[in-house]
Structure formats: C-alpha cells, structure tokens
Amino acid sequence: MATVQQFDTILKNGRVVDPVNGTDGQFDIGIRHGKIAVVSEDIPNERGDDIIDASGQIVMPGHIDTHAHLSSPQDRNVDRSYGHPMLVESGTTTALDLAGDPTLMAEGMRRRGAGLNVATLMGLVPHMTISEDDPRPSIIRDVIADVKTRGGIGVKMLGGYHPFTPEASADVVAAANEQLAWVAFHVGSKDSSSDMTGLREVPEITGKGRLHVAHINSYTRGMIDEPHEEVNEALAMIEVMRSQWVTEAYLAQANGTNGKCDENGDVIYNVMQNCLKARGYPTTDEGVKAALLDGYGSALIERGGRVVMVTGQNAVDIWESASTDASLSFPVNPPTSAFSLATARYDDGTFKVDAISTDGGSLPRNVAIERSMALVAFGALTMGEAVTKLSYTPSRVLGLLNKGHFSEGADADVTIVNAQTGKASMSLVAGDLIMLNGRAIGKGGTWLVLDEGVAAAEASDLAYEVMNLENSKLYANWN
C-alpha cells in the first residue's frame, strides 16, 4: 500500500501562476521541508500540518529584487537595515543589496532581519571602501577579493556619486570578471553624467566583459533628449549588448539621492544635480532648500520602525541637521519610460530589460509587485509575463536555479498577491511565513555568499546559502 505524503504546509485554493511549468489556475501547493512537494488541483486538508487559505489570491514564486538597498558603507540620515521588513512587506523574498557592505548587511539582518534571502555588493567609495580616486588594477583586485571573503558577491561602481575615469571603470569590470565576482554600474564617469551621456560610454567600458547595468530607467528621464528618444536609444544599446549585460528597471517615480553640498554651497553629487535641473532649481544649497519647501523634494526619516518621506520645513530640518549629507527623494522618473522599459520585447517575445526591481528596500518605493499588477490590469503584460519578470528571470539572472518556479524540489519561496488591490498579502521563504496581512513577521534571514564567504557567514550565526555565479546570466558561457 502506497504511503500518503504528508505536508508541513498546504497553500489552498489560490490562483497559482508559474510560467515555467505552464501553470495558471486554481491549485493547491504542498510544501515539505522548505521545498515544493507538489502542485495539485485538490490536496486534502488532513494531509497538511498547517493550512493557508489563498482563495481569491494570486500565488506566484517569490519576488526576487535585483536592485535594493539594505546597507551602506556611508552614513546617512536613515538606517538602511529598516529595508529588511520594508521589502518583506512589499512581497519580496530575495534581494540583491546593491552598493552596500556585507558586514553591515549581516549586522542589520541580525538586528532587523525579516526572513529575506540577501546577497550584497559593496559600493566603491574612494578613500572609504577603496583607497584611490581612480584605483589601479592591483588595488581593485585586492578589494574585490576582500569583499568576497567578507561575504559579498562583488562590487558596484557609483558613477552618479563617486565617478571614476572611463579607464578605471573598465578596469573594475575586467577585475571583477577575472574573479567571477558580480559587478554593477550606476553609470557616469569623470567624462560624463548619470544620464544618457554616461550610458553611451558603457559599451566601451564593458569591452568584451560582463556587467550589470543598474536601473536603466534612471538614464531615460529626458535630461539629454526627449524621454522616449532616450528609451529607444537605451533599448537599442541593450540589444547590441544582450549577451554581456544584465539589466533591470524600476516602476516608481521617486528617485533616491543625497543632498550633500560643499563648503561653497554647491551640490556635490551628479544625481542630485540632475534632480534639481529637471525642475529648474539651481544646483546649490538654496536650490535644495527651495525644492524641499515646495514639496518637490522629500527627506527620509525613520518612523515606527520604517522609513518614510516628509516634505516642507520638516524635510529642510532633517537635511540641515545632517549638515546637508542626507538621503532625499525626488519624483523624476517618467512613467512613460518605466512603461516602455518594462514591456519592451525582442522578436522572440523575451524581454529586453531582464527584471523589474525596486531600487528600494530602505528607500520607500517598494512598488514592483503592485505596479506590475497594474500593468497586467492595463493589458500591457499578461499575468504570466509579470511573474516571469518579477520572479523567474531574476532567478536566472542571479543563478538561483532553485527559485522562481514551483517545480518539485524547488525552494518554497512564495509571494501571495491580493487580486483586488494588486498588493502582496503574504509571503513565505523556505515554506515559513515571513509576511502576513501586509506585515513582516519573519526574523533573521539567509545570507547568500560565495564559496570565499562561507567562513564569514558561519561566524555570523546567520543561516547562509552558497551561490555559484557560473550559473548566473552574468557569467553564462563565460570563458
């Protein structure tokens, strides 16, 4: 007589959407030992130790955010670790912490972790995380090797804030590729800006290598040409670099930046300058103050264990109390650009931009799921296509082959979305609930490291998992 399989958890009666397995309909999912055991039309309740009713809701593989912020090597007016519960409450189950610091991320996961899987890139900040303004290849190689041993998976160049020369930028790409480390680029160099002029440099900087070009939408705001012209140019560039670049874009209008000014009152960072120029404000401390008072700009502040945006005099007070070195936000991303980048396809139907990210976490713009659901309601994406961009393709991008689908034996990372509101209502990681009714209930998390980072992960007492970037899109067929 055959043994009847028992499950730790059964998700009942949801609309299960899993494009990989051609599933879109009402099914139950049986979870055992943190893995998907079965997807079936009707699993008897008595076979589950715990039953979760997902009636009327969309059940999809957990959202993988390929661009979030959960730590920072630079002090700001907010603690980036608040991003753990904030991302979880948006429905994310796995995140790539872009431009953080692996040691700080692990500390934040211990303090405020909410059950996320997290991999971290270290931001390259001259005289802070790397010793030179335009680092020599030997310096770059040593920094990347050190980051890997501390639990990071690679580095990110911050061209909009701490630009290198194009030559040094190319050296970073080459050194990371040589070590099979992740390398991302917020574009811009000492010869260009964080806009289309910066993006135009990136193919040459990439050379024959591989590169994650961060938030494509950030370079299509109409700073050089009309937004639609910049989108078309960016998409044409992506098509040429298809086998070498990983790309993502986010759907929020808000853009995060920093309002730091120098001793003469001039705005230091190029991204901040562009936010002011977009609405005709001077790129000075007086321009920043006016933008905040007018309600165009917002400052970030911690309230109730989360990060929120405030405007007006409150925002000015926060900015001034930080001696202008404060995290700010401006609504500069055109919705038309976001729409075009999210939906652009090749002739074979695959998407030109790999993933829908948030560029959020500790920044309050974690709207990837709800905005994607809005695109589904509008008819711009099918539900299967939305899930592909939110979950499956990001899993391939990062080489997390056991995520992004509900095949038997896959990780039981699940995002459950309210079909009426388009917002996530529940999430599970490895079969455990980490978010319920829109509120984070998970603890800790799983640190995603490379082989070189295992010792650091073991010393942290956090759960960890070893990634193999040879499985990632970045290094697919890399020689």
91-134 confidence digits (pLDDT tens):
999 999 999 999 999 999 999 999 999 999 999 999 999 999 99
Whether 233 and 204 have beta carbons less than 8 Å apart is answered as no
User: 291 lies in a domain?
Assistant: yes
- Using alpha carbons, list the distances in angstroms from residue 164 to 67, 127, 257: 21, 13, 19
pLDDT, position 477? 87
Same domain for 128 and 148: yes
Residues 238 and 323 in one domain: no
Tracing tokens 């010393």 back to the chain, one arrives at 459
Look up residue 4 and give its DSSP letter. Answer: P
pTM of this prediction? Answer: 0.96
Range 243-279 burial, b when 16+ CB lie within 10 A, else e? ebbbbbbbbbbbbbbbbbbeeeeebebbbbbbbbbbe
Closest Cα to residue 43, out of 78, 8, 91?
A: 8
Angle at 473 between CA 375 and CA 168, to 5 degrees: 105
Distances (CA, A) of 375 to 32, 144, 380: 34, 39, 5
Q: Is 168 part of a structural domain of the chain? A: yes
CB 332 within 8 A of CB 224: no
CA terminus-to-terminus distance, the chain: 52
117 and 34 belong to one structural domain: no
Asked whether the beta carbons of 14 and 55 are under 8 A apart, the reply is yes
Domain boundary among 301, 332, 363: 332
Q: Which residues pair with 381 in a beta bridge?
A: none
Asked if the structure places residue 129 within a domain, the reply is yes
Residues 241 and 97 in one domain: yes
In a shared domain, residues 142 and 80 = yes
Report the 3 state secondary structure along the chain. Answer: CCCCCCEEEEEEEEEEEEHHHCEEEEEEEEEECCEEEEEECCCCHHHEEEEEECCCEEEEECEEEEEEECCCCCCCCCCHHHHHHHHHHHCEEEEEEEEECHHHHHHHHHHHCEEEEEEEEEEECECCCECCCCCCHHHHHHHHHHHHHCCCCEEEEECCCCCCCHHHHHHHHHHHHHCCCEEEEECCCCCCCCCHHHHHHHHHHHCCCCEEECCHHHHCCCCCCCHHHHHHHHHHHHHHCCCCEEEEEECCCEEEEECCECCCCEECCHHHHHHHHCCCCCCEHHHHHHHHHCCCCEEEEEECCEEEEECHHHHHHHHHHCCCCCEEEEECCCHHHHHHHHHCECCCCCECCCEEECCEECCCCCCHHHHHHHHHHHCCCCHHHHHHHHHHHHHHHHCCCCCCCCCCCCECCEEEEECCCCCEEEEEECCEEEEECCEECCCEEEEEECHHHHHHHHHHCCEEEECCHHHCCCCCCCC
| Shared domain check, 454 and 340 | yes
Residues 271 and 281 in one domain: yes
Together in a domain, 429 and 451: no
**Alpha carbons 200 and 206: distance in angstroms, whole number:** 11
Residue 1 resides in a domain = no
State the CATH number of the domain containing residue 26: 2.30.40.10
Shared domain for 260 and 159, answered yes or no, is no
pLDDT of the residue at 1: 45
197 and 74 fall within a common domain: yes
Does residue 417 form part of some domain? yes
Ranges assigned E (strand) in 391-440 = 414-418, 424-429, 432-436, 439-440
| Residue 160, token pair as written in the block | 């909009």
* Among 332, 349, 371, residue at a domain's last position: 332
- Residue after which a domain boundary falls, among 332, 358, 393: 332
Q: What is the CATH number of the domain that holds 165?
A: 3.20.20.140
Q: What confidence tens digit (pLDDT) does each residue in 262-287 have?
A: 999 999 999 999 999 999 999 999 99
**Residues of the domain holding 271:** 254-332
Query: Which pLDDT score, from 0 to 100, does residue 4 have?
Result: 75
Same-domain check for residues 258 and 365: no
Considering the domain boundaries, does residue 196 fall inside one? yes
At residue 133, the pLDDT reads 95
Based on the domain organization, do 105 and 156 belong to the same domain? yes
2 assigned to some structural domain = no
Residue 450's DSSP bridge partners are none
In a domain, 14, yes or no: yes
Q: Please list the rounded mean pLDDT of every run of 10 residues in the chain (479 residues).
A: 81 98 98 97 95 97 98 84 98 97 97 98 97 97 98 98 98 98 98 97 98 97 96 98 97 95 97 96 98 97 94 96 95 95 95 97 96 97 97 98 98 97 98 97 98 98 97 92
Count of domains forming the chain: 3
